[in-house]
Structure 1
Amino acid sequence: MMYSRNGVKVNYPSWILDSMKTLKPPERMTVSEWADKNRIIPAGTSNQPGRWKTEKTPYLRGIMDAFSDDRIEEIVFIKPTQVGGTESILNILGYIVDQDPASTLVVYPSDTLAEDISKNRIQPMLRATRPLAEKFREEDSKLLALQFENMYIPLTGANSAASLSSKPIRFVLLDEVDKYPPRSGGGKEADPISLARERTNTFAYNKKIFITSTPTLKTGAIWKEWESCTRQLYFYVPCPLCGKFQRLRFQQIKFIKEGTKTERAESAYYECPYCQSQLFDADKHKMLKQGRWMNEEKMDGKKQSPKKTGFSLNAIYSPWLSFRDVAYKWLDAQGDQEKMQNFVNSWLGEPWEDVGSTAGAQKILDNRGIYTRGIVPDWAQIITCGVDVQQTCLYYTVDAWGQGKKIYNIDHGCISGTDFNTLWDVINQTYYDQKGKEWYIDLTLVDSGDQTDLVYDFCYIHNPLTIPVKGASNPIPSRYRVSTIQKEDSVARGLKLIICDGSYYKNMIYAKINAQDGSWQVFDGVDQEYCDQVTSEHKVFERKNGVDSWVWKKKTSSADNHYLDCEVYAACAADQMGAFALLEEQPEAEEEEPTYQREQDEEENWFGNDDDYDWGGDWI
C-alpha cells in the first residue's frame, strides 16, 4: 500500500502497518461515551435489549464516568433497586477491556453468584459487543477466568481468600458488599474488601476500586465505605416550574389519606418543596435529563477531595418506577417489619435502623383508650386470649380485634399458682360493650412449653375454645403452622397443636404500638407492670454460624416478658380467626375534580434560568 510522507510516496510492508495499528492509542473517551458508542445489550439479559443509551438513565453517567476520571481512586455507589446499577458495572468492564486493558478482579458475595453472572450477563455482553468480541478469547476462558488478548478478568466469591490475595490487580470491582462474609477463608483471613483492596497496592497512581451494594444496616460494609468517602454526591434535579434543584425524597411523594392501598397509591404525585407544585411521572424524565451530581447544599463551605467519591441514589429516580409504585410499596409495608426494611434498603437506598422494634412503656401509656377495664370497644369483631404458663403463675391477656387489625387490650392479669380452674373462669366470662351487648372470647391459645401435661389436659377438656401453642424453635415458612399432639400417654393425643412464629407477631405488635393511627390501644387505667413487660424486648442484629439475622432479646436479663408472650399468642389466635384479613370499610368515593396536567412541550423553556442558581458545591 502506498502512503505519502513529506510529499514522498512510500510502500510500507504489511508488518509495519500492523504495528502502527497496535501502537495507535485508543480513542480518549469516558465510560458513558464508550457505552453509548459500542455497548449492545443482548436479548434475554434485559427487558430492554439493543444499543445502550445512557440518556435513559442519566444519573448513571456521573457514576460511570468517575471510573475514567484520573482524580478519583475509589468509587462508592449506594445502589437501590431498578436504577441500572448492574449495567454500570458491565459498562465499566467493557470500557476496561476495550480502552484501558489491565488485570481486573470482580468480586461477588459467592462463587455461585459469580458463575451465574459470568454466564448470563458478562459473557453475553462480550459476544454481542463487537470491540469486546474481537478481544475475547472464549475458547481459553472459564466461567471464573475470562481471557482477552492482553488482559484477564478473574471473578470470585468473597469467601475465597486465595482468589482475593494472590496476584497484583489494577482494577477491582466489588458488588453487593453488604452480603459479603465478615472474613474470608472460613473466618481465618481478613475481611474480603481489605484483601481485594490490598491487591492494588502496586498500582499506586492508576488503580481504581469500585464498591457498590444495596445498603442493609449502618454497620454494613457499604455504609461504612460511604461514610469514609472524601466526597459525597447526590443527584439533584430541577423543578420544571420554579427551576430549583433538589434531591428526590420520599417525604415529598404525596397521596390521599383515605381509601385502599391501591386507591391511595393511584393518587400519588411529587410535591416540589420550594413552590409546592404537583409534579407527575411525565415530568420526571425531563428532570432527570437536567440532573447533576452535587454535594449537599453548601456542605459547610468545605471543599471535598474527589479521591474517594461516593454516589447515593434512591429508587424514586428510576425511569421504570412511577410515584405510584413507590407509594404503594410503602403502604404495603406498613405493619410488616421485613417489608419495611426492604423498602428502606432497596427502594430508599438507606440503612435500616430498627426503631420499630423498640418501644418504651410510656408509648403504651400514651395509647390508653377511652374504655375502662373489661369494656369491649364498639368496633370489635373478634376477641382472643393468650396465656403464658409459668411454674408459679399463669399470665393472660384478652384483646379485641377490629377492622384494619385494630387491637384493644380489654383485660390482662396473673393467676397465682397453676390454677387452671380460675383460668377457665377468665376465659369463659362474659364481657360487655357500652351498649350492654354480651361478648365472649372466641379462641384462646395456651403456652405448652411449661406444665405441658396440665396444659394438654386443660385444652382437651375445653377444646375447641382452647388450643395449646408452642413457639417455633426454627424458622417456619408461614406465621404459624398446625401440628398435632403426639404424646403417647396424653388424653389430648391427636388434637391440634399450634406452632407459632413469635418473631413475626412481635414485629406486628411493636409496629402497632409505634404507629400514629391508634391501631393499638389499652384500657384506661392500665398498670405499669403490663406496659413494662410488653415493651421488655428489642430486636438486635446477630451473626451466628456465618448467618446474619434479627433476633428478639430482652433489653435487660432481669426483665419479665410474660405479657409480651401473651400478646403474641393472642395475636396468633386472632390470625387463625381471620382478624388479619379484616379490611377497613371504605366510604363511597366522591367524584373528584379533574386534575389539570400541563402539556409537555419539548421546546418549552420549562427548566427556567439557572444562571443565578447557587449550586452549593461541587457538581459533575
Structure 2
Amino acid sequence: MVDMLDRGLGQLSRIPPLPPFVTPEELVADALPLLDPPSRITVTDAGERFLRVPVAGRWSAYDRGVAPYTVEPQDISQSRRFKAVIFTGPSQSGKSQMLLSVAAHAVTCAPGPVQLIHMTKTDADAWVEEKLDPAITNSPALHERLGRAREDSTFSRKRFKGMRLAIGYPVPNQLSSRSQRLVLLTDYDHMPQRLGPKDAPEASPFGMALQRIRTFLSRGCVFVESTPAFPVDEETAREASPLEPHLLPATTGGIVNLYNEGTRGRWYWECPDCAGLFEPRFDRLDYNPDLDPGEAGDMAAMVCPHCGSVLPHRHKAELNRRALVHHGGWLHEGRHVDEATGRRDLVRIDDAAIRNVPFASYALNGAAAAFASWSGLVERYETARRSLEISGDDLDLKGVHYTEIGIPYRRPREEGEDALTAETLRDHALPIPKGIAPGWARFVTVMVDVQGNRFEVMVMAWGAEGERVALERFAIHQPPDDAPSAKGDDGKYRAIDPGRYAEDAAVLAELAERIYPVEGESWGLRPVAVVIDFNGPKGWSDNAEKFWRKQARKGMGHRFFLSIGRPGFNQRDRVWHEAPERASGGKKARGIKLLNMAVDRLKDSVAAALGRLDTPIGAQHIPGWMEAEHIAEHLAEQRTDKGWELRKGVQRNESLDHSVQALALSEHLGLNRVNWEAPPAWCVAGNLNPHLVPLDQVEEARDTDEPAQADLPRQINYLRRR
C-alpha cells in the first residue's frame, strides 16, 4: 500500500499498488488453450464435469439422473443435423436448466458466441441475478474462465475466455445484425409472437433467431423451451392418429406449433411387468374423481395401457432413469408406415428413418416430470375442474393444463351444451310473479345498462349457493320533471339523453329504495346495491361520475357502483374495485372507484349458471313472466378463443350484460366467501338482515311523501291473496 499526494488536494487515501507486470510468456500461456479444438464431449458430460446446481439449499454436481429426459434434448443442441431443438413441457421440470447446461458447454468445451433471450428485460435481469451469477460463482470451471474486467460481467453480457454470452429480451434490435452460434429462447410462449411494429411486424422470435445462426452453418442451433400458453385453435387443429401418433392439436400460436413442425419426440417408459413401451400421461393416471381432491390425489397411480399393471408414484424416478439405457426414452415419429397396422414407426433420434425435418422437437407430459408428484397434480386438476363446474370460469383449469400437465388447453364441452336455447330456458322457467322475490331470496341487486336514449334495468334476487332469478326487467325512457327541456311545448316528455344531460341520471336514485316483497313472508327486501354501466354514449362517463358523487354526498356511495368491462380471458382477476388511472380528457382521476369486470370470464360463469337446469346450486333461473326477447338476450353471444362475441344477426344483449353486472357485484360483496351456515348480515334470511323492510311499514309510507314504487300495492295484495 502506498500514499499518494495531490498538490491541490493534499494526501489521498491509501491506494493498493498496481499489479505486477505480466510477461509475454505468461500471456501466451494464458491464451494457448483458446487454440485447442472443441472438446468432443456431450453437453450432459460437460455439465457433470464442470457445472454445479443448487440441490436442497446447497450446491452440488450436476446429475443427469435427476431429470433424465433433459439429456437427449440438450445433447442434440450440438448436432449438425438439426437447426433447432424445441422442448415443450410443464413448469419446474428442468427446462431452463437445459439452457444453462448448453451455455456451460459453450464456455468450457466449444467456445463461441451464445445469446439467451428471456421474456422481458426484467425477467432477463432476474435470471442473471438469481440463476446465472450464482451458478458461475459456485462452478469453479466457469468462474475461472470469466473475465475480470468490470465490463466482462454485466446484466446483458458475460465475457468468458474465447466466448461471449449475451443476455437479452425479445425486441427486434436484440435479434438483428448479430451472428450467434447458439440462440437460446426461454419461456417462448410468454414472448410477443411477432416482433416489430404492429402494422409491419418483422418475424417471430424463433424466425429471427434462425437468421442469427446462419453464419455458423451446421454448427449453429436455436434452442427453444416453454410451457404451452396458447389454447387449441379449433379451426385448424387435427387430432393425433396412427399416421401422426405424436401430433399435438394446433394452437393459436407459440411453441406447440413449432413442436409439430419437428420430429415430435415423446418420453416413453418400459412397463416392468410386460416390457411394453408407453407414454406416461396424465390421462393414464387412475384415481376416483368422486373423492375430495386431496384423497383422489393420494390414490393416483399410473396404469400400463398394454397389460393394465398399476404403477405407484414411488416407481416414477426409477422408470425415468431406466429410460436412459433405452428401456424407453425419447421416441420420435419415423418416415415409414407399417402396412399391416397402418401405424407410423417410432424411432430413436439417431435413426436414419426419423422424420425428415430440420428441427428436433420434444413434448414432455407433466406425469413424467421429475419435480411434480402425482398426488399434487391430481389434487390441483380436480380442484380446478370442480371450480369450472361451479363457476363456469376455466382460468384455473387452463393453468393446470399449461403449467402442470404441459399440454395445450381445449375448453371441455359439456354434453348437450349446444342444445341450450331460448325454448329450453323458457321450458324450465321458474313460475314466480313479476316483482315478487321467491322465499329463498337472501338479497337483491339492481343492474343498469346505459343506452343512448334509455336506461335498461334488471332486478335480481339471490339465494344461498349463488342461486338467482330476475324479479323485474324494464326500461326508463322518461327524464325527471326538473331535467332541462324535460317537456316540450306540446307537453310531451323528451327521451332520456344520458350523455347530454347529467340531470337525467336522477331517475336512477330511487332504484336503491324499491322494496321487493318475499313470498311467504311479511317483509320485503331493499336492494343491497345498484350497479350502473360506466360505459355508454359520449359524455355519459362524466355524467355517471357526477351522479355517483351526488349519491356519495347523501351517504349512499356504498350502495351505488359504476361498472366497466375488461375483455379477455387473462385478466388479473374476475372483479376488482379501484380508481381508474385517468379520467376523461387525460385528467387525473380522484375519489371515485370503478367496479372492473373481467367480462369474458364472467360470461363463462353466466352461461354455466343458465345451463344448470337440474340443480339450484349456482343456477340462474329464467322467470316465467319474462318476455321472449329478453330471454333470447341471455344467449345473444357465443364464445370464441378471443372472447365472447355477438352472434351473427343479433343486436340486443342487455340481459346478458345485466347478468354479468349482477355476478360481478355479488362477487365483490363477497358471495364466493360466504359461509352459508353462518352468513353475514347482508345475505342472512330473517330479521337480522339490514335490508329487510316490514310490509306494513311500506304501506304506512304510502300515506306520506316518501317515494314508493308504483307496483308495490299490487305486489302486496298478491301476497295477501296467497
Aligned residue for 2:147?
Answer: 137
Whether 1:121 and 2:164 are equivalent positions in the alignment is no
Aligned 8 A contact 1:233 1:312 in 2 = yes
Q: Distance in 1 between matches of 2:361 and 2:620?
A: 44
Aligned residue for 2:254?
Answer: 221
Q: Distance in 1 between matches of 2:612 and 2:186?
A: 36
Aligned residue for 1:157?
Answer: 169
Q: Flag the 1:185–1:386 CA change in 2: closer, same or farther, 3 A.
A: closer
1:386 shift after superposition: 3.1
Aligned 8 A contact 1:415 1:423 in 2 = no
Whether 1:195 and 2:208 are equivalent positions in the alignment is yes
Aligned 8 A contact 1:383 1:574 in 2 = no
1:347 shift after superposition: 1.9
1:78 shift after superposition: 1.1
Aligned residue for 2:458?
Answer: 396
Whether 1:506 and 2:517 are equivalent positions in the alignment is no
Q: Distance in 1 between matches of 2:383 and 2:126?
A: 31
Aligned residue for 1:93?
Answer: 103
Aligned residue for 2:447?
Answer: 386
Which aligned pairs between 1:393-542 and structure 2 lie closer than 5 A?
394-403=456-465, 405=466, 407-409=467-469, 411=471, 413-415=473-475, 417-418=477-478, 428-432=515-519, 440=525, 443-447=528-532, 449=534, 467-471=560-564, 479-481=575-577, 499-503=595-599, 505-510=602-607, 512=609, 519-523=618-622, 529-537=629-637
Whether 1:348 and 2:439 are equivalent positions in the alignment is no
- Which one-letter code corresponds to 2:212 in the other structure? R
Aligned 8 A contact 2:53 2:135 in 1 = yes
Deviations 1:489-546 (A, max 9, x none): xxxxx999762424253343345557899543434867654454234345667xxxxx
1:81 shift after superposition: 0.8
Q: Distance in 2 between matches of 1:40 and 1:275?
A: 41
Aligned residue for 2:92?
Answer: 82
Whether 1:295 and 2:295 are equivalent positions in the alignment is no
Q: Distance in 2 between matches of 1:164 and 1:80?
A: 26
CA RMSD of aligned residues (A): 4.6
Q: Flag the 1:22–1:383 CA change in 2: closer, same or farther, 3 A.
A: closer
Q: Distance in 2 between matches of 1:417 and 1:132?
A: 76
Q: Distance in 2 between matches of 1:534 and 1:80?
A: 38
Q: Flag the 1:125–1:373 CA change in 2: closer, same or farther, 3 A.
A: same
Q: Equivalent residue of 1:447, what SS? A: strand
Aligned residue for 2:242?
Answer: none
Aligned 8 A contact 1:42 1:128 in 2 = no
Name the % identity. Answer: 18
Range that drifts further, 264-273 or 279-288? 264-273
Aligned residue for 1:609?
Answer: none
Structure number, greater radius of gyration: 2
Deviations 1:412-459 (A, max 9, x none): 5334635969996996333438xx898746534242546867976899
Deviations 1:186-227 (A, max 9, x none): 666623332221122222222211112222222323233223
1:467 shift after superposition: 3.1
- Which one-letter code corresponds to 2:278 in the other structure? Q
The alignment's TM-score, normalised by the length of structure 1, stands at 0.73
Q: Distance in 1 between matches of 2:613 and 2:126?
A: 45
1:85 shift after superposition: 0.8
Q: Distance in 2 between matches of 1:236 and 1:226?
A: 17
Q: Distance in 1 between matches of 2:438 and 2:360?
A: 57
Q: Distance in 2 between matches of 1:355 and 1:316?
A: 20
Q: Flag the 1:539–1:244 CA change in 2: closer, same or farther, 3 A.
A: same
Q: Flag the 1:426–1:162 CA change in 2: closer, same or farther, 3 A.
A: closer
Q: Equivalent residue of 1:248, what SS? A: coil
Aligned residue for 1:31?
Answer: 43
- Which one-letter code corresponds to 2:344 in the other structure? G
Deviations 1:574-611 (A, max 9, x none): 224532124699xxxxxxxxxxxxxxxxxxxxxxxxxx
Higher strand share: 1
Deviations 1:34-74 (A, max 9, x none): 2223321158xx85631111111111122212223333221
Q: Distance in 1 between matches of 2:185 and 2:591?
A: 54
- Which one-letter code corresponds to 1:177 in the other structure? Y
Aligned residue for 2:705?
Answer: none
- Which one-letter code corresponds to 1:89 in the other structure? L
Q: Distance in 2 between matches of 1:472 and 1:583?
A: 28
- Which one-letter code corresponds to 1:175 in the other structure? T
Q: Flag the 1:424–1:259 CA change in 2: closer, same or farther, 3 A.
A: farther
Aligned 8 A contact 1:109 1:175 in 2 = yes
Deviations 1:6-42 (A, max 9, x none): xxxxxxx999999997776555332222222332115
1:245 shift after superposition: 3.1
Q: Flag the 1:575–1:19 CA change in 2: closer, same or farther, 3 A.
A: closer
Q: Flag the 1:138–1:16 CA change in 2: closer, same or farther, 3 A.
A: closer
Aligned residue for 1:206?
Answer: 219
Unaligned runs of 5+ residues in structure 2 are 1-24, 231-250, 324-328, 346-353, 480-506, 581-589, 678-722
Aligned residue for 1:568?
Answer: 660
Q: Distance in 2 between matches of 1:110 and 1:412?
A: 50
Aligned residues: 548
Deviations 1:526-576 (A, max 9, x none): 7654454234345667xxxxxxxx665545585222112211222133224
1:108 shift after superposition: 1.9
Name which of 405, 414, 431 aligns with 1:372: 431
The alignment's TM-score, normalised by the length of structure 2, stands at 0.64
Q: Flag the 1:530–1:66 CA change in 2: closer, same or farther, 3 A.
A: farther
Higher relative contact order (CA closer than 8 Å, sequence separation 6+): 1
Aligned residue for 1:328?
Answer: 379
Aligned 8 A contact 2:145 2:160 in 1 = yes
